[in-house]
Amino acid sequence: MKPDVILCHYGEIGLKGKNRGYFEKKLQENLRKTLKKFSPDTFSSIGRMFGRLIIRLNKQGQNEIDSLNAALKNVCGMVYFAPAFKVVQNKDKITKLAVELMSVEDYNSFRVTTRRTDKDFPVSKQKMNEDVGAAILEATGKMVNLNHPDKTCFIDIVDGKAFVYTERFNGQSGLPVGVSGKVMSMLSGGIDSPVAAYYAMKRGAVVSFVHFHSVPYTNEASIEKVREMIEKLQVFQQKISLHLVELAPIQKEVMVLTAEKYRIILYRRFMVRISEALAKIQKAKALVTGDSLGQVASQTLENMSVIEEAISVPLLRPLIGFDKLEIITKAREIETYDISIQPDQDCCALFVPKHPATKARLVDVIIEEKKLDVEMLIQQAIKNVKTEIFE
């Protein structure tokens, strides 16, 4: 037997009062984008139905259900989804289908869970659970276990129809990408920043990326790495833009003209300023970084605030409370970890001071910065930005 539809459930977005219609529409649009890589013959429509979205499968989709499931697992804003079998709203027909689906050997104990959204259906959910349960028991001889069943037979009675299914898969939860506006994420090639970007996507932001490199003083490895990371992140957000910025001209000026111990902070202030300028061009409303408090000597509150002082848009740090191990676990899950640990030549590893300031004071940094033509350097960097679109 092959499922007729995939029922998609969202949790949080169901709660959002008058925004609900907007959220549902975004999720619907994102489901369509996620399934775009499959042939148009895979499904006939993606409809909305009482707090769920329903993907109506064609024959081809039924045959490719495993690959569809794998793609749908990446959808943000979806709590879970279930390939389901459609049946008319008739108790005997529902029972027959449920018995058929449960007549398999891969479990010992079971329960039936009915949801009756359609109050026109004359049988209560309790009665459905009991009667369908009894029929399954009789047909299969399996045990009922209400608290810890190996398998659950779900019955969804909704919108004049009924659906039966036994398998559910988790989506990414969170909010659909696109409901929270745009952000500009600073992607370094390290472990943390792609994970930070993932969390911004998961809270509904559309993420654009900026990467700073020191080519020709370094090789192109970091650029290649961020490209590969973006390809991984495309399972969550299909269209992504990447801005590649040359940091070397700025680094040269900083190195020649300013005190050594402030170099890293000065580079960083340039990075956030350029990112902010790019964000404004793109109508992005915040920057995102992979900073986590105290992880390295430079990530002190003092340094963070001196860096942030250079810009006026909010700088979001989704990983601020994460341990390194937690970040690594997530990086493995989203498949960016193996790319991150490839060797590269980080732009900030170039011309690094021996003793960087760990608790820089803004007044001292500003004295150093006055030695540079900040505005000109930023304009020049922006003029030379190379933008790549991934879709």
> Hey, which residues between 308 and 367 contact ligand ATP (CB under 6 A)?
347-348
Contact 264, 353 (CB under 8 A): yes
Residue 155's nearest CA partner among 47, 7, 50, 10 is 7
Q: Which of 34, 185, 188, 336 is in the footprint of Mg ion by CB under 5 A? A: 188
- Which one of Mg ion, ligand ATP, none interacts with residue 99, CB within 5 to 8 A by kind? none
Would you say the C-alpha torsion 33, 34, 40, 44 has a positive or negative sign? negative
CB-based closest residue to ligand ATP: 190
Q: How far apart are CA 51 and CA 7, in angstroms?
A: 10
Q: How far is the CB of 344 from Mg ion (least distance, A)?
A: 10
The verdict on 193 binding ligand ATP (CB under 6 A) reads yes
Q: Which residues contact 312 (CB under 8 A, 6 or more apart)?
A: 276
| Total of chain residues touching ligand ATP, rule CB under 6 A | 19
370, two tokens: 């006055």
Tokens 């930023």 map to which residue?
378
Q: Which stretch binds Mg ion (CB under 5 A): 9-17, 97-105, 152-160, 184-192?
A: 184-192
- The Cα 341–Cα 241 span in angstroms is 23
Q: Looking at 296, 352, 367, 376, which residue binds ligand ATP (CB under 6 A)?
A: 296
Q: Please state, as a whole number, how many other Cβ atoms lie within 10 Å of the Cβ of residue 160.
A: 10
Are residues 205 and 105 in contact, defined by beta-carbon separation less than 8 angstroms?
no
Q: Of 207-246, which residues contact ligand ATP (CB under 6 A)?
A: 210-212
> Is the Cβ–Cβ distance between 226 and 187 less than 8 Å?
yes
Closest CB to ligand ATP among residues 95, 289: 289
Residue 95 as a binder of ligand ATP (CB under 6 A): the answer is: no
Least Cα distance to 7 among 21, 23, 27 occurs for 27
Part of the chain binding Mg ion (CB under 5 A), chosen from 15-23, 81-89, 143-151, 190-198: 190-198
Helix (H/G/I), strand (E/B), else coil: 386: strand
Indicate the residue among 70 and 341 with the shorter CB distance to ligand ATP. Answer: 341
Residue 146 is given by DSSP the state S
Smallest separation (angstroms) from ligand ATP to the CB of 247: 7
DSSP state of 50: T
Instruction: In angstroms, give the least distance from the CB of 188 to Mg ion.
Output: 4
Helices 263-282, 248-257: axis angle to 10 degrees equals: 140
* Beta pairing class for 206-213 and 240-246: parallel
121 touches, from Mg ion, ligand ATP, none (C-beta below 5 to 8 Å by class): none
**Residue 175 is a binding residue for ligand ATP (CB under 6 A):** no
Q: Which stretch binds ligand ATP (CB under 6 A): 53-61, 104-112, 171-179, 181-189?
A: 181-189
Position 190 contacts Mg ion (CB under 5 A): yes
Binding part of the chain for ligand ATP, among 18-26, 54-62, 73-81, 206-214 by CB under 6 A, reads 206-214
Out of 114, 172, 188, 218, the residue judged to bind ligand ATP by CB under 6 A: 188
Question: What are the φ and ψ backbone dihedral angles of 327, each rounded to 5 degrees?
Answer: -65, -40
CB of 370 to ligand ATP, least distance (A): 24
Residues near Mg ion (CB under 5 A): 188, 190
Residues near ligand ATP (CB under 6 A): 186-188, 190-193, 210-212, 289-291, 295-296, 298-299, 347-348
